[in-house]
Every structure is written in structure tokens, then in C-alpha cells.
Amino acid sequence: MSNSQTNESSKRFQSWRNFLIWLILALLLRWQVMEPRWIPSGSMLPTLQIHDKILIEKIRPRLTLSTHNHLDKNTLIVFAPPEALVEAGYEKNSALIKRVIGLPGDQIEVHEGKLFLNEKLIEEPWVAEPIKYKMGPIIVPEDSLWVLGDNRNNSLDSHIWGPLPERNVIGTAFLRYWPLGKFGFIRETTPGQYER
């Protein structure tokens, strides 16, 4: 075999090796750190529109659980459906997106079209219309979150199926990348809004 053939074989091998390394890194990044998602329903209107494309990060939920802390109230989370939804026919490997409203020990109540957290009225600029149902008061159990869609009157969420086990959280939504006209970070808590 000539030197030129050896060099050509070596270059091909390096190219394939580099390709495999990048492929493995990309898969690890998607599996462990960040992944794209799209919004399939109107349950988060007006905050997120149907077919918006977002990025979720997966590290913060894992770190939070491993340190026995909780995600911040008002965080938009993507999660695996709770058992009640799986029993009702949802695919176990599907994902939903909602807003964290309550943490373990919080009292949640809805009446007069408004949300009350620990008996305090919560102003929610992302909710477009008064809530048309009553709920609670309920106390969020340990190791659970209370999650609601921003489109409160058209959202399959905790007010229907109950608390979400924290272990079901896949990641937190942090960036909308499509449509380009709405590109940007996804808004989180207004300071002091959800203080206990």
C-alpha cells in the first residue's frame, strides 16, 4: 500500500471518528441537557401559541430534586403525564407544558374568577380572562407541584387531575426560538409576586 493510500485511509478514518464523536455529543446533549419541543395545544395561550417551538433545559430540575429543593413558582415546566392521565389514555412517553403555581405545603384556591395562594390573591398578567371554575382550597402534597395552564378555562391540568409528582418533570422551558418574530427568553416570576 502506498503512502498516499495510507494517508487517504487515515483521513477517512479520522472523518468517521470525528462524525461519531459529534453525533454522540449531540445525543448526550439532547438526552441530558437541552432539547427542542413544540407546543401542540392552546392550553398555554396567550403566553405560548400553538406550534411555537421552544427549548427546555433539563439540568435545573435534576439539581433541584437532588438537593431536596423545589422549582420556583411560575416556572414553565415540561413533564411526563401523571398516572391519572396515563390511565385515561395519554401516552406515557408524551409531554405536557404548564406553569408551576404551588409547591408542597401551599394552599391553592380558585374562586370569583381568581387564583389565591396561601389565602393571598395572585395577580397573573399572563391569564387573559377570569377563571370560570372553582377549586379548593387544597394543600399541595409533599414531593408534588400544582400546575395550571395559562389558558385556565381550556387546560387539562392539576385542577382536573390533581398534583404532579416532582419526579415527572422533564425540564423547564426557557427560550422560544420559533417563530423568529417572537424569539426570546420565556418570562418567569415577577419579583415578589409569589412570596409565601
Cell numbers representing residue 96 in the block: 405536557
Instruction: Indicate which residue of 58, 73, 98, 144 is catalytic.
Output: 98
Measured distance CA(138)–CA(82) in Å, rounded: 18
Whether 43 is a known active-site residue: answer yes
Q: Which of 4, 9, 11, 43 is catalytic?
A: 43
Q: What is the DSSP string of 144-188?
A: EEEEE-SSGGG--SHHHH-PEEGGGEEEEEEEEEESGGG-EEPP-
98 assigned to active site: yes
Identify the three-state secondary structure at position 32: helix
Residue 84 is inside which H or E element, if any? helix 83-87
Q: In the beta sheet, which residues pair with residue 36?
A: 55
Strands (E), the chain: 34-38, 53-57, 76-79, 96-102, 107-111, 114-117, 120-121, 135-139, 144-148, 164-165, 169-178, 184-185
Catalytic residues: 43, 98
